[in-house]
Structure 1
Amino acid sequence: MRHLIPVLALLGLTATAALASPGDQRPGHRAEKPASVELGVRPFFLVDDMADSRLKQKLQQCAQRGQFTARDFSIGHRGAPLQFPEHTVESYTAAARMGAGIVECDVTFTKDKELVCRHAQNDLHTTTNILVTPLAVKCTTPFVPATLDADGKVVTPAKVECRTSDITLAEFRTLRGKMDAFNPAARTPQEYLGGTANFRTDLYSGLTSGTLMTHAESIELFKRLGVKMTPELKSASVTMPFDGFTQEAYAQKMIDEYKQAGVSPRQVFAQSFNINDVLYWVRNEAAFGKQAVYLDDANTVADLPGRNELVDYKSQGIQIVAPPIFALLSTNAAGDIVPSQYARDARAAGLGIIAWSLERSGLLADGNNGFYYQSFDSAIQTEGDVMRVLDVLARDVKVMGVFSDWPATTTFYANCAGLR
């Protein structure tokens, strides 16, 4: 347990109040539900940065009350990866400390078909220290250094691919999590591990943090932290079936681990980008299927489903859709942020809506804010406009919740807006 003490101190927890390591997820090593929500300074910075408006006045008044509680509207996307390595004990605990009422474990599997928390089956080279461990030799694609020209510009970027399916669970447990990043100009594996975006930090990615977890261990941690759970069944990088492990068995195994842990289906929002996974749960695990979430993988507005397709989702038993934020928002002639056509169609179809993901786009005031803001970027002028985005999503689109990389922001807004 010694290796977590520095991180726990940063989170305001005692060493006895949190899980030690994946190997210590057993009675006697318990992480308790945080006694209070600690928002830190960011939500208040965002409010101060807003242009004058009635919303800003309302949020300023709310900030003065100073007492906040966890809310289901606030969903910890991969935990709290704006500052902590994603899908780690430290990231999950930070999310709960900031009042996320629901926390996400993205689910994939190892070579021996054990479920673990990783955003992708093939991201170990960007989210862990695998390249500087003996396990690097087991990677699907060994490290190939970048080729640079005489001026140091990249001619061909560094290449490598390491999958959870390359290693066993026992080997997975030896790794440490780091911020999801890489250096395309790397000439060595050590250099490749760099590249963290300048709006994130490596402060909590040292040898004392980045504790990886199995899916089952995440369930136990979430139970102890008192949060609901939203596992996402990730697409496999290997061909399925994998050594006899079918897609259906994969989807079933994820649900079985909740049942084995005695978790009520009402506490679980199973997700997938694969509609067949969602329909499998709807048809074979009705209690969990009631609030299974179909994730939309649209890259542009033109890729989004129309009203008839959304109605068809509902007719098949899907109750909740989760598109990226840009799918739900647009601008009107006056330049105001307003609900999109997709948002209106999804509501008309009777679907619940969850939005992803806030706090992933870095600085907003410089414009060109990329994927999540593409349909309404012209309306974004300051960092504080995040609060305007949340207000339209909650008040006008009426989303059930919002994924965030820094859940303090969504927790604060949900408290001020009276959302559960």
Structure 2
Amino acid sequence: MPRTSPLIIGHRGAPGYRPEHSRSSYDLAFAMGADAVEPDVVISRDGVLVVRHENEISGTTDVADRPEYANRRTTKIVDGAEITGWFTEDFTWDELSTLRCRERLPALRPSSATFDDQQPILRLRDVLDLVRAASLERGRELGVVLEIKHATYFDGLGWDMAELVETELADAGWASGQLPLTIEAFESTVLGRLRERGIPAVYIYLLEAAGRPADLLASLGAAAPTYRRTAQPAGLDALVGVVDGISVDKRMILAPDKLGRATGPSAVVGDAHARGMRVFTWTCRPENAFLVGQFRSRGGSGAFGDYEAEWGMIRDAGVDGVFVDHPDLGVDVFRG
């Protein structure tokens, strides 16, 4: 049967309430009614797929407070940006497994930060296994929306992300199409490689509101199309048959003007649907810091604004999936 409401995806679990990508964050997402969760994957020094938002981990783990790793702090160029910190590819999985999760936005989410330093970081295999177990426990089909991070960067270090992901999915029993799997990336090249390998999944191309994809910048330089151009009708035409859909920054739907007033919904959802593609959007968060200006309230950046009104515009645009940090609120607005 066709869906009557968007797929509600726990963005890194339920990070509005628990440190992102922690076991309790994923468990809470399903307890709150999420249809799927989204693990981001990066790589350890010994080729283990690790679940972290970025390969730089000082903001989401206790690594900076571990004196034995002080000499691992370094500066690197990742997708054109200079970043200083601690990087997963400089640690073995055995070393990474000793680290503990921390809230990435403690000033905005102090309640979540009370769970700091209590849980180890996870591998992709851990998340795949826990989602399967949660499906059996809850008696409903639960999915994984797997985001591949920095594929071109890791390729430059000698790692083939497509090969690693294929192997992990096969070993975990997620490569046969029996479980609901979506694979997404900001780089279309790695999606194409996985599709060529025959992994049955829904393939979603992530689009930023600005900038250009790292893989096409590496191969085409200044001729690389911008994400915004890709979201236009001609750009979408080129994606037909290549991916199953797109996932856009919510501002590409809300189309705020210079005064912070939403002028949308824009044409992007209808344009993609007209070409047979699905449309997801990211990320629906209730705090003022993340809302379009007109929906903000008093009380500071961490206070909840009129998120129902903003999310209602996104819902009414007809999106097929939505990433939320607070799955219970997402269920209320998008499924209620």
TM more than 0.5: yes
Q: CA deviation at 1:241?
A: 3.8
CA distance in 1 between counterparts of 2:204 and 2:270 reads 18
Q: CA deviation at 1:132?
A: 1.4
Structure 2: gaps of 5 or more residues: 76-82, 136-141, 212-225, 298-303
Corresponding residue number in structure 1 for 2:236: 310
Q: CA deviation at 1:85?
A: 1.1
Corresponding residue number in structure 1 for 2:207: 296
2:254 paired with 1:329? yes
| Structure number with higher strand proportion | 2
The answer (yes or no) to whether the contact 1:80–1:95 under 8 Å persists in 2 is: yes
Secondary structure of 2:120's aligned partner? coil
The one-letter code sitting in structure 1 at the alignment partner of 2:111 is T
Task: Report the identity percentage.
Answer: 23
CA distance in 2 between counterparts of 1:115 and 1:214 reads 6
2:60 paired with 1:127? yes
Secondary structure of 1:339's aligned partner? coil
Structure 1: gaps of 5 or more residues: 1-70, 143-158, 182-195
**1:337-348 equivalent positions in 2, closer than 5 A:** 338-348=264-274
**1:355-370 equivalent positions in 2, closer than 5 A:** 355-359=281-285, 362-363=287-288, 369=290
Q: CA deviation at 1:238?
A: 5.2
* Structure 1 pair 179–139 and aligned structure 2 pair: CA distance change class (3 A): same
Corresponding residue number in structure 2 for 1:103: 37
Using the size of structure 1 for normalisation, the TM-score is 0.64
2:200 paired with 1:287? yes
The answer (yes or no) to whether the contact 1:233–1:271 under 8 Å persists in 2 is: yes
Q: Deviations over 1:379-414 (max 9, x none)?
A: 42554632223333223x211111011111111223
Q: CA deviation at 1:197?
A: 2.2
CA distance in 2 between counterparts of 1:220 and 1:81 reads 20
Q: Which aligned segments of 4 or more residues in structure 1 are displaced greater than 4 angstroms? A: 236-239, 381-384
Q: CA deviation at 1:216?
A: 0.4
* Structure 1 pair 308–277 and aligned structure 2 pair: CA distance change class (3 A): same
The one-letter code sitting in structure 2 at the alignment partner of 1:175 is L
CA distance in 2 between counterparts of 1:413 and 1:169 reads 39
The one-letter code sitting in structure 1 at the alignment partner of 2:14 is A
* Structure 1 pair 114–89 and aligned structure 2 pair: CA distance change class (3 A): same
Name which of structure 1's ranges 338-347 and 72-81 shifts more when overlaid on structure 2: 338-347
Q: CA deviation at 1:281?
A: 2.3
Corresponding residue number in structure 2 for 1:137: 70
The alignment yields a C-alpha RMSD, in angstroms, of 2.7
Structure with bigger gyration radius: 1
* Structure 1 pair 206–308 and aligned structure 2 pair: CA distance change class (3 A): closer
* Structure 1 pair 202–411 and aligned structure 2 pair: CA distance change class (3 A): closer
How many aligned positions are there? 293
The answer (yes or no) to whether the contact 2:19–2:116 under 8 Å persists in 1 is: no
The answer (yes or no) to whether the contact 1:304–1:342 under 8 Å persists in 2 is: no
Using the size of structure 2 for normalisation, the TM-score is 0.78
Q: CA deviation at 1:101?
A: 1.0
2:172 to 239, 245, 261: 261
The answer (yes or no) to whether the contact 2:14–2:26 under 8 Å persists in 1 is: yes
The answer (yes or no) to whether the contact 1:140–1:166 under 8 Å persists in 2 is: no
Corresponding residue number in structure 1 for 2:23: 89
* Structure 1 pair 231–135 and aligned structure 2 pair: CA distance change class (3 A): farther
Q: CA deviation at 1:357?
A: 0.3
Q: Deviations over 1:320-342 (max 9, x none)?
A: 1001101112379xx77631032
